[in-house]
Structure 1
Amino acid sequence: MPTETRALDTRTAIVQATFDLTLANGAVPSLDAVVRASGVSKGGLLHHFPTRVTLLRGLAQWLGAKSIAWFDDLCEQGSAIDAWLAASTPKSEEMNEIFVLFTTMQALRAAGETGDSDYGEFTAHVDRKIAEELAGPDAEQRALLIRLVGDGLFFASLLGSSVPEAARLALSERLAAPVPS
């Protein structure tokens, strides 16, 4: 097996173990727990993730990459606007990744990491995909507005106040409509 492939497999095993432990325990695990769960030596872990913060960033980036792939799959079924608003009303099976992401982001903040989110590439990707579908000089602003509407739907869903699908579809159509001049 090529060295690059082995390194990628090891890195993925470490991140997957961190995800699984965070989900199972409700908190970000210690490096020692990740070593035991991943089957990687402590030196192997530290080679890929020298600190707990770098491990958390790696987990956030991994979740972001998975979210981009998931969002792109949704886009293939319709428009990016529909995909985003549908993604913004998570299903129960998606809540595990959301929980781990929130736990990871909170742990990063607690460690003093307050800069741009390592998950930020996902939101930038969503903005780009939506803006590509919109016409006009205000496409980027409208894309941001649509993403923020989705964020509102997301938090409403988390709080148990989700919007019915028919209303979400009508909202999607309204947001996709050109703005009259």
Structure 2
Amino acid sequence: MDRRALVLAAARELALARGVIPSLNETAAAAGVSKGGLVHHFPTRAALVQGLAMAALEEVDTAMTAAAGEGSAAETWLRMSVPTGEDVAVFRAMAIAHRAVEAPGDAVATASQEAIARWEAMIRDEVGDAGRARVIRLVGDGLFANVIAGIEPAPTAAELDALLGSLLPAGGRGGR
């Protein structure tokens, strides 16, 4: 694992443990790197938040690309939209920190907009309808937002299966 990845992993673990994005000093200590080594990759806390967000986008992009290749982009999107366990704490911390340190139009917002358009296109290609793809994408967004904000708990597996059955084409998940 390179230093940048090591720093991001340490920041994620600290965010899990504390529910907030750690300081640069805390992150450097947890990663076992010097502050200078950390600052080389993330000169500010805002840059660290951006790094965490971009890593999360890359993880989702990898999963969605693989799912699209298997014909299950819509199902994968909805299942990934329900954060569980440790992910809830990390995403809450990232959301709070991101809003506190970033301005609209930043690199993360642009990358997020591009990724969402790409993922929605994958869903559209699978379900064959732009309107249905948008609804599926927005339902996933709503599930994610409600869990992260603590508005409602994550749906149970049975509830999520029922939702998938309502949104996806008859005859199977992901258009299969």
TM-score range, shorter chain: 0.7 to 0.9
Residues in 1 aligned to 2:142 and 2:94: alpha-carbon distance in whole angstroms = 21
Structure 1: segments with no counterpart, 5+ residues? 1-7, 177-181
Residues in 1 aligned to 2:65 and 2:56: alpha-carbon distance in whole angstroms = 14
Aligned match of 2:162: 167
Q: Which amino acid aligns with 1:108?
A: H
CA gap of 1:51–1:76, structure 2 versus 1, over 3 A, is: same
Give the count of matched residue pairs.
163
Residues in 1 aligned to 2:95 and 2:155: alpha-carbon distance in whole angstroms = 24
Aligned match of 1:151: 141
Aligned match of 1:113: 103
Is 1:99 paired with 2:89?
yes
Structure 2: segments with no counterpart, 5+ residues? 172-176
Residues in 1 aligned to 2:154 and 2:23: alpha-carbon distance in whole angstroms = 35
Superposed counterparts of 1:1-181, under 5 Å = 9-75=2-68, 78-90=71-83, 92=84, 95-115=85-105, 118=108, 120=112, 121-135=114-128, 139-155=129-145, 159-160=152-153, 162=155, 164-174=159-169
Q: Any idea what SS the aligned residue of 1:15 has?
A: helix
Residues in 2 aligned to 1:97 and 1:89: alpha-carbon distance in whole angstroms = 9
CA gap of 1:52–1:78, structure 2 versus 1, over 3 A, is: same
The CA RMSD measured in Å over matched residues stands at 2.8
Percent identity (aligned) = 36
User: Larger Cα Rg: Structure 1 or Structure 2?
Assistant: 1
TM-score scaled by length of structure 1: 0.74
CA gap of 1:64–1:123, structure 2 versus 1, over 3 A, is: same
Contact 2:28–2:38 (CA under 8 A) maintained in structure 1: yes
Tell me: higher relative CO, structure 1 or 2? Use CA pairs within 8 A at least 6 residues apart: 2
